[in-house]
């Protein structure tokens, strides 16, 4: 037993150091090198630029409060869409806090003129708090508000949403969705400048 | 529930079945060790460390080397976490990690649990993520597979005293399986949008003029091995729900497949090694049935949604804590897979699942993560149930208990029961302590039965070495960090030691040719018996705790009682 213990010490320490160098330093360094060469846009966060200004990442949602923009889902990340503090609400199905929050958000939604059933993703917090997408139903539910705020015809705004709906891959994989940041850039007329 | 949702589950199931055999062949080459190409690096490692890769180890030696190696890993990781503030590659200026959190994290990553009491983007430097955490994503996975190899040798060998060499198994698994797959896999993830950079962050000016700090880092390199090695410790707090870890529906499918890849392959390896492939497929079949049942139940519960929100005029299933790009089907499927295995990565927040939808992940872990399971640990955990099942069959129909040509005797059954008893003892014991102490109760984010579920889930996840959470629980306190670390350590090694002991005693036995008195361990009858034993042992032990947590929560939910 004592012999076995002693004989284990040297290989344990040496192998730990060797594998730390190999899998902890060489492996990520090699990958960073290849990724930066081959997929620089994705490797650096799929950033979206207006001219030289970074306005966000295509993959990360952001806060939209003014009526002229489509809004994303409620966010539990920090004070809302804080990309340094990704988080869901972690509220259980019978939590009073959850129901109160939804009641509050529904008031806003209803005040903006939505009648009928509310799409589930519209007033529920996402898992990451950074969800960049909303369902098409949630987007269509906001068309009237956005059109009024911008003084645009509803038909024009609706057509932009139509064009922004991403269908499931091969018809099976994923859910139909609308990327809120990309749609709002289209509205601002920034659609011509696509992500690098 | 939608046609698309079921189609996704069907496509996943088909790919899983297709994956088992090729993965098994790859694993068998490593297990066997004779036909490996170009071994310069491997030999170099042995030379520097003074290892003779052909020296056979007894079960005791194997276990001691696993333990010392793991303990050394804990110490080094702890040290790195404590001094990260003084080391390079720290673009966001992260400070030293608190002692209790550093200890918890070190044990968490070495035991393949990857429970995260911390939030990655605000705690860990890039160097820590790589040199402390990514490393043990590899090594804890390789250790699990190595132990499984040793256990399989116990069943496959005749009148042998050795179970192979731990260092050779560890090195081969890392060099010829985990590392090459991770390199390719990580690059595919980068192509799909996962960042891979040494920069810390980018500040964006949003369309409304606010500042948004986007945290970046070497995410893809950790993400790949996090999934393939069933580790589950994310770069970010939100784990695979974070768009930078899991940007799209197809990266999500890939991540789900990679969780089960090695676990499915191990069943095939077992069949090859004992010389009867049907033995491997029988295990695969039992796992597969349990997997589909759990995934289907979660999908149904989540699609049914939350009546408390329906009452307010919301349509459809439960989207609280889920991402739009995954939707309900892919979130439910992921939850079942990650807890069937000991992965613990999450693409949706289990805390916000409906009561029954959240019970399935909890119950999956309580069964011992033997449904494909953690890499290596899934198979050796399942083999314990095989031993128990032939013993039960022997008692019921008076057959002599034999399994794959080995006579199962008192010593093996006692050790098997010991390995199975560790789980409920630790999970229920530690949950009990937390549920009556002020420090334990203070951590809850939810009140009522759901608060108890949070505590129960935490210890279930820790002892089962899963790492997922009902994440509302505030666990970064000395109380939880300490108790959870105890759970993780003993949950890992108090299973590994008895399992290796079983393998040691089986390896020494002669082969008993199957006779008319042998209970057949292939075919539907055996698969049914296995499933029954797993559900009865798992179900009966944990049913009272489930009644207090998720089942009470469900009754509250459907009756409109709020907490």
What's the confidence (pLDDT) of residue A190?
54
User: Cα-flanking dihedrals φ and ψ of residue A122, to 5°?
Assistant: -70, -35
Instruction: Name the residue facing A59 among B202, B244, B309 (closest C-beta).
Output: B244
What is the rounded CA–CA span in Å between residue B1 and residue B17? 24
What pLDDT, in 10s, does the model give residues A50-75?
999 999 999 999 999 999 999 999 99
pLDDT, one tens digit per residue, over B364-375 is 999 999 999 999
- Which residues make Cβ contacts (< 8 Å) with residue B134, sequence separation at least 6? A23, A24, A27, A28, B218, B221, B222, B225
Q: Do B402 and B526 touch, CB atoms closer than 8 A?
A: no
CB B407, CB B394: distance < 8 Å: no
* Mean model confidence pLDDT for chain B: 95
- Residue B126: its H or E element: helix B126-127
Distance between CA A164 and CA B360 in Å, rounded? 36
Nearest to A7 by CA among B435, B69, B281, B485: B69
Taking alpha carbons only, the member of B381, B367, B392 closest to residue B419 is B381
Supply B40's token pair. Answer: 């310069």
- Do B59 and B165 form a contact (C-beta atoms < 8 A)? no
In total, the C-beta contacts within 8 angstroms joining chain A to chain B are: 391
Q: Is the pLDDT of residue B165 over 50?
A: yes
Chain A CB contacts of B242 below 8 Å: 86, 128, 130
Secondary structure element (H or E) that encloses residue B214, with its range: strand B211-215
- Answer whether B469's CB lies under 8 Å from B238's CB: no
Interface test with B, best of A12, A20, A93 (most B CBs within 10 A): A93
Residue B429 predicted with pLDDT over 50: yes
Of A85, A90, A59, A130, the residue nearest B236 (C-alpha): A85
Residue range B297-302: average pLDDT?
Answer: 97
Tokens representing A1 are 């037993």
Cα–Cα distance between B407 and B412 in angstroms, integer? 9
The token pair at B376 is: 């290596």
Which residues, 6 or more positions from A189, have their beta carbon under 8 angstroms from its beta carbon?
Answer: none
Do the chains contact at B249 and A132, CB–CB below 8 Å? no
Domain residue ranges in chain A:
2-41, 45-192
Q: What is the ipTM of this complex?
A: 0.95
Of B4, B241, B562, the CB nearest to A95: B562
A177-179: strand order across its sheet? A133-134, A177-179, A165-166
Task: Give the tens place of pLDDT for each residue, B444-460.
Answer: 999 999 999 999 999 99
Whether B351 sits inside 8 A of A123 (CB atoms) is no
Question: Chain centroid to CA B79: how far?
Answer: 25
B212 φ, ψ (degrees, to nearest 5): -130, 120
Query: Cα(B306)–Cα(A130) distance, rounded to whole angstroms?
Result: 23
Q: Is A15 on the interface with B (CB under 8 A)?
A: yes
SS3 string, B81-118, reads HHHHHHCCCCCCCCCCCCHHHHHHHHHHHHCCCCCCCC
Query: pLDDT at position A2, please?
Result: 75
Of chain B, the percentage scoring pLDDT greater than 90 comes to 90
The DSSP secondary-structure symbol of A173 reads B
Query: Does the beta-carbon distance from B313 to A106 stay under 8 Å?
Result: yes
Domain boundaries, given as residue ranges, for chain B: 376-559
Assigned token pair, A87: 């988080």
Contact: B64, A1; criterion CB under 8 Å: yes
Query: Distance between CA atoms of B160 and B291, rounded to whole angstroms?
Result: 35
Task: Give the three-state DSSP class for A178.
Answer: strand
A120: chain B residues, CB-CB within 8 Å: 305, 309, 314-319
Determine how many CB atoms are found less than 10 A away from the CB of residue A179. Answer: 24
Q: Which chain A residues are Cβ-neighbours of B76 within 8 angstroms?
A: 16, 20
Query: How do B211-215 and B201-205 pair as beta strands?
Result: antiparallel
Q: Dump the DSSP string for A26-75.
A: IHHHHHHHHHHHH-HHHHTT-EEEETTEEEEETTS-----STTS------
CB contact (8 A) between residue B471 and residue A57: no
CB spacing of A63 vs B206 below 8 angstroms: yes
pLDDT grade, residue B539 (50/70/90)?
A: confident
Record the tokens describing residue A126, joined without a space: 């996402």
Check residue A168 and report its DSSP letter. Answer: P
- pLDDT tens digits, residue range B375-392? 999 999 999 999 999 999
Residue B160 has pLDDT above 50, yes or no: yes
A192: confidence class by pLDDT, cuts 50, 70, 90: very low
In angstroms, rounded to a whole number, what is the distance separating the alpha carbons of residues B127 and B140? Answer: 19
pLDDT in tens, B48-63: 999 999 999 999 999 9
Cβ–Cβ < 8 Å for A83, B215: yes
Tell me: pLDDT of B245 over 90: yes
Number of residues assigned to chain A: 196
Inter-chain touch A83–B214, beta carbons under 8 Å: yes
Question: Choosing among A92, A175, A183, A187, which should be mutated to test the B contact, i.e. which has the most B CBs within 10 A?
Answer: A92
Residue that wins the pLDDT comparison between B1 and B473? B473
**B402 min Cα distance to partner chain A (Å):** 32
Q: Which residue has the higher pLDDT, A136 or B117?
A: A136
d(CA B153, CA A36): 43
A26–chain B Cβ distance below 8 A for any pair: no
pLDDT digits 0-9 by tens, B178-232: 999 999 999 999 999 999 999 889 999 999 999 999 999 999 999 999 999 999 9
Residues of B in contact with A61 (CB under 8 A): 243
pLDDT at A91: 96
Nearest chain B residue (CA) to A174: B249
Q: Which residue from B204, B238, B309 is facing A129, i.e. has the nearest CB?
A: B238
How many CB atoms lie under 10 A from the CB of residue B519? 21
A163 in B contact zone (CB under 8 Å): no
How does the average pLDDT of chain A come out, rounded? 92
pLDDT: which is higher, B506 or B118: B506
Find the mean pLDDT for residues B507-529: 90
Q: Which residues of chain A have a CB within 8 Å of the CB of B216?
A: 44-45
The pTM of the whole model exceeds 0.90: yes
Predicted local confidence at residue B154, as pLDDT: 97
**What is d(CA B289, CA B336) in angstroms, rounded to the nearest whole number?**
12
The structure tokens 């594998």 sit at A19
| CA-based nearest distance B460→chain A, Å | 18
A62/B199 touch (CB, cutoff 8 Å), yes or no: no
Read off the pLDDT band of B137 (50, 70, 90).
very high
* B270 Cα to chain A: minimum distance (Å): 28
Distances (CA, A) of B217 to B79, B194, B383: 22, 10, 40
Measured distance CA(A37)–CA(A166) in Å, rounded: 28
State the pLDDT confidence band at A191, using cuts at 50, 70 and 90: very low
Yes or no: say if A139 and A182 are a contact pair by the CB < 8 Å rule. no
User: Per the structure block, which two tokens stand in for B543?
Assistant: 């049913």
Contact between B187 and A31 using a beta-carbon 8 Å cutoff: yes
Is the CB of residue B132 less than 8 Å from the CB of residue A24?
yes
Measured in angstroms, the CA of A115 and the nearest CA of chain B are apart by 10
d(CA B126, CA B134): 10
In chain B, which residue's Cα lies nearest the Cα of A134? B324
Q: How far apart are CA B556 and CA B547, in angstroms?
A: 12
Chain B residue with minimal CA distance to A176? B325
Please work out, in degrees rounded to the nearest 5, the angle formed at the alpha carbon of residue B399 by the alpha carbons of B401 and B148.
Answer: 20
d(CA B246, CA B194): 7
Position A1 confidence tier, pLDDT thresholds 50, 70, 90: low
Q: Taking the CA atoms of B531, B533, B537 and B539 in sequence, report the sign of the dihedral they define.
A: positive
Could you tell me if A81 lies within 8 Å of chain B, comparing CB atoms?
Answer: yes
Three-state secondary structure readout of A110-161: HHCCCCCCECHHHCCCCCCCCCCEECHHHHHCCHHHHHHHHCCCHHHHHHHH
How far away is chain A from the Cα of B52, in angstroms, using its nearest Cα? 10
Q: Which residues contact B110 (CB under 8 A, 6 or more apart)?
A: B70, B73, B74, B77, B136, B139, B140
Would you call A79 an interface residue with chain B, using a CB distance cutoff of 8 Å?
no
* Neighbouring-strand partners of residue B379: none
Asked whether the beta carbons of residue B352 and residue A89 sit closer than 8 angstroms, the reply is yes
Over residues B302-337, the pLDDT tens digits come to 999 999 999 999 999 999 999 999 999 999 999 999
Residues of B within 8 A of A84 (CB-CB) are 121-122, 201, 213, 215
Mean pLDDT over B152-159 rounds to 96
Helix (H, G, I), strand (E, B) or coil at B438: helix
């Amino acid at each position: 037993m004592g012999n076995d213990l002693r004989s284990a010490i040297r290989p344990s320490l040496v192998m730990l150091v060797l594998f730390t160098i190999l899998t902890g330093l060489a492996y990520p360094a090699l990958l960073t090198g290849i990724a930066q060469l081959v997929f620089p846009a994705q490797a650096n966060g799929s950033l979206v630029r207006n001219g030289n200004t970074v306005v966000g990442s295509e993959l990360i949602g952001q806060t939209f409060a003014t009526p002229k923009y489509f809004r994303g889902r409620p966010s539990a990340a920090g004070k809302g869409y804080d990309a340094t503090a990704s988080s869901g609400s972690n509220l259980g199905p019978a939590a009073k806090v959850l129901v109160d929050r939804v009641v509050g958000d529904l008031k806003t939604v209803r005040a903006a003129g939505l009648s009928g059933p509310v799409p589930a993703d519209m007033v529920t917090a996402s898992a990451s708090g950074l969800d960049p997408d909303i369902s098409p139903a949630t987007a269509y539910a906001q068309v009237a508000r956005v059109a009024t705020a911008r003084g645009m015809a509803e038909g024009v705004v609706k057509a932009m949403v139509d064009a922004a709906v991403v269908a499931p891959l091969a018809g099976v994989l994923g859910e139909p969705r609308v990327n809120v940041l990309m749609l709002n850039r289209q509205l601002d007329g920034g659609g011509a400048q696509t992500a690098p | 529930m939608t046609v698309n949702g079921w189609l996704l589950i069907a496509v996943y199931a088909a790919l899983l079945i297709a994956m088992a055999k090729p993965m098994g062949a790859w694993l068998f080459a490593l297990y066997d060790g004779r036909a490996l190409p170009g071994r310069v690096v491997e030999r170099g490692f042995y030379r520097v460390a003074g290892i003779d890769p052909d020296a056979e180890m007894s079960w005791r030696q194997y276990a001691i080397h696993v333990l010392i190696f793991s303990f050394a890993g804990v110490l080094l990781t702890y040290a790195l976490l404590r001094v990260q503030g003084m080391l390079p590659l720290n673009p966001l200026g992260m400070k030293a990690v608190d002692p209790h959190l550093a200890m918890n994290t070190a044990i968490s990553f070495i035991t393949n649990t990857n429970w995260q009491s911390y939030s990655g983007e605000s705690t860990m430097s890039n160097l820590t993520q790589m040199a402390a955490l990514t490393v043990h994503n590899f090594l804890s996975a390789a250790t699990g597979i190595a132990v499984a190899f040793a256990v399989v040798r116990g069943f496959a060998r005749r009148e042998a005293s050795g179970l192979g060499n731990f260092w050779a198994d560890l090195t081969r698994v890392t060099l010829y399986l985990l590392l090459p797959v991770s390199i390719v896999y990580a690059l595919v993830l980068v192509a799909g949008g996962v960042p891979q950079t040494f920069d810390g962050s980018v500040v964006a000016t949003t369309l409304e003029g606010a500042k948004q700090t986007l945290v970046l880092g070497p995410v893809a390199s950790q993400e790949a091995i996090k999934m393939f090695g069933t580790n589950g410790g994310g770069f970010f707090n939100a784990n695979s729900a974070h768009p930078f870890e899991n940007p799209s529906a197809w990266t999500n499918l890939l991540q789900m497949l990679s969780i089960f890849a090695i676990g499915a392959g191990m069943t095939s390896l077992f069949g090859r090694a004992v010389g009867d492939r049907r033995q491997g497929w029988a295990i695969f079949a039992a796992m597969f049935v349990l997997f589909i049942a759990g995934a289907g139940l979660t999908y149904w519960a989540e699609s049914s949604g939350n009546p408390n929100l329906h009452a307010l005029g919301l349509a459809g299933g439960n989207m609280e804590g889920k991402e739009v790009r995954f939707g309900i089907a892919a979130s439910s499927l992921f939850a079942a897979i990650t807890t069937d295995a000991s992965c613990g990565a999450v693409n949706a927040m289990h805390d916000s699942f409906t009561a029954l939808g959240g019970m399935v992940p909890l119950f999956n872990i309580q069964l011992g993560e033997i449904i494909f399971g953690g890499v290596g640990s899934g198979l050796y955990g399942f083999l314990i149930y095989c031993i128990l099942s032939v013993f039960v069959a022997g008692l019921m129909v008076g057959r002599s208990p034999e399994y794959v040509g080995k006579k199962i005797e008192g010593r093996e059954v006692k050790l098997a029961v010991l390995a199975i008893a560790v789980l409920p003892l630790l999970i229920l014991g530690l949950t009990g302590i937390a549920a009556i102490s002020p420090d334990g109760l203070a951590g809850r984010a939810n009140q009522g039965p759901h608060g108890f579920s949070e505590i129960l889930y935490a210890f279930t996840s820790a002892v089962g070495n899963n790492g997922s959470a009902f994440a509302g629980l505030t666990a970064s306190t000395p109380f939880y960090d300490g108790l959870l670390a105890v759970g993780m350590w003993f949950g890992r090694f108090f299973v590994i030691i008895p399992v290796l002991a079983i393998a040691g005693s089986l390896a020494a036995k002669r082969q008993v040719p199957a006779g008319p008195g042998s209970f057949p361990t292939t075919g539907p009858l055996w698969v049914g018996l296995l499933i029954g034993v797993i559900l009865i042992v798992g179900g009966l032990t944990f049913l009272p705790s489930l009644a207090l947590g998720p089942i009470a929560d469900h009754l509250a939910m459907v009756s409109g009682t709020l907490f």
